[in-house]
Structure 1
Amino acid sequence: MKSKIFLYLFLFVSLICLYLFVSNGNMMKAKDAKVSSLESKVAQLEEEVQNEKLKVLEMQYFSLENNDDALAYYDHLDMDDPSRYIADKLLETNENEGDNPLVPYEGMESDFKINKIKVLNHKWILTDFSDGKYWGELLIKYELKDDMGVDFTTLDHLLYTRSN
């Protein structure tokens, strides 16, 4: 009787070990597949991040902040961020009553005001203006003087037409 109990116990333990061995193998294959899937996703995301970094660098190419030659024009002035200073001075032109004096159009829905500003270098600015419904762009020449005054001159302009 004792030997039969040991035989059944041995068979039962053997079946449990076989089950654990097969189950562990399947779990290992599933985890390996998941790890390789995640590794490929990480590689794909790293490539996308690299592409986005290149796009950002390309967009920043025409920018005063990244143009050392243009920034050299402001070395004699004690300025931390000349681009922000110039943009602020340009935005002050919006404070005038009516249309912005740099925009050569009359507002149709309301007054044309400058919205977005991109300081390209030490001489040019690209801006976007709008009256809420109609919009356009300006190419502005500027000169930052030693007394920290800024003169703005509109070089070219563009007003987009709406097509219904």
Structure 2
Amino acid sequence: MKQRIFMYLFVFAVLLIIFQYVNAKRVFEGLNKQNESYKVQVEKYKDSVVKLHHKIKNNTYFSLENNEDALSYFEADGYKVSELLPYIKDKLYETNEVSGEHPLVPYVSGENRKILINTVKFLNHKWLIANFSDGELWGEILVSYFVNEDKTIDFELSESFLYPNY
């Protein structure tokens, strides 16, 4: 009787080991398939990152932050670019506070609205582009700016356009 109990326990143990082996093998193969799909996704994402990097590089080509010659222009005059650019932006935004018509935007707003410059991007050491809006009309301006020796900033409108109001 004792032998039969050991034999049944042995058979049960063997069946349990076989079950564990088959189950572990199935789980292992499933994880390998999942890992392969992740590898494919990672390669796809790497390609996407490379494409986005090239797109960002192309989009920031005309940008003061990436233009060493323009940065050197300011640095040669003894300016710290990290302090100068916010100063120029502040001076440009101060033109929003002028009463009456905006001094840089050549369009007139209607119905007691005020045209304001919203966003500014420096193209190089001489030009910036800005968008403006009064809540209904909007457009963009290309502005030449000059940093004078007394640290005053002069702005001169180069081009402007107004988006059609549909």
TM-score of the two chains, using structure 1 as the length reference = 0.91
Q: Which amino acid aligns with 1:43?
A: E
Tell me the alpha carbon deviations over residues 57-111 of structure 1, each in whole angstroms, 9 at most, x when there is no partner: 2222111121111122212233232332222211111111133210011112411
Structure 2 residue aligned with 1:88: 90
Matched, 1:25 2:42: no
The equivalent position to 1:104 in structure 2, one of 91, 101, 106, is 106
The equivalent position to 1:146 in structure 2, one of 100, 125, 149, is 149
Decide whether the 8 Å contact of 1:108 with 1:134 is kept in 2: no
Structure 2 residue aligned with 1:115: 118
Distance, in Å, in 1 between the alignment partners of 2:128 and 2:164 is: 22
Structure 1 residue aligned with 2:53: 53
Q: SS of the residue aligned with 2:109?
A: coil
Distance, in Å, in 1 between the alignment partners of 2:50 and 2:87 is: 32
Distance, in Å, in 2 between the alignment partners of 1:32 and 1:65 is: 46
Distance, in Å, in 1 between the alignment partners of 2:45 and 2:38 is: 10
Decide whether the 8 Å contact of 2:71 with 2:81 is kept in 1: no
Structure 2 residue aligned with 1:156: 159
> Which moved further from structure 2: 42-51 or 12-21?
42-51
Q: Which amino acid aligns with 2:68?
A: D
Tell me the alpha carbon deviations over residues 6-38 of structure 1, each in whole angstroms, 9 at most, x when there is no partner: 222221111111111111110110111122222
The equivalent position to 2:138 in structure 1, one of 105, 130, 135, is 135
Distance, in Å, in 2 between the alignment partners of 1:93 and 1:140 is: 13
Distance, in Å, in 2 between the alignment partners of 1:80 and 1:139 is: 21
Q: Percent identity?
A: 39
Q: CA deviation at 1:152?
A: 0.9
Query: How many corresponding residue pairs?
Result: 163
Matched, 1:69 2:69: yes
Matched, 1:36 2:36: yes
Structure 1 residues 89, 127: closer, same or farther in 2, change over 3 A?
Answer: same
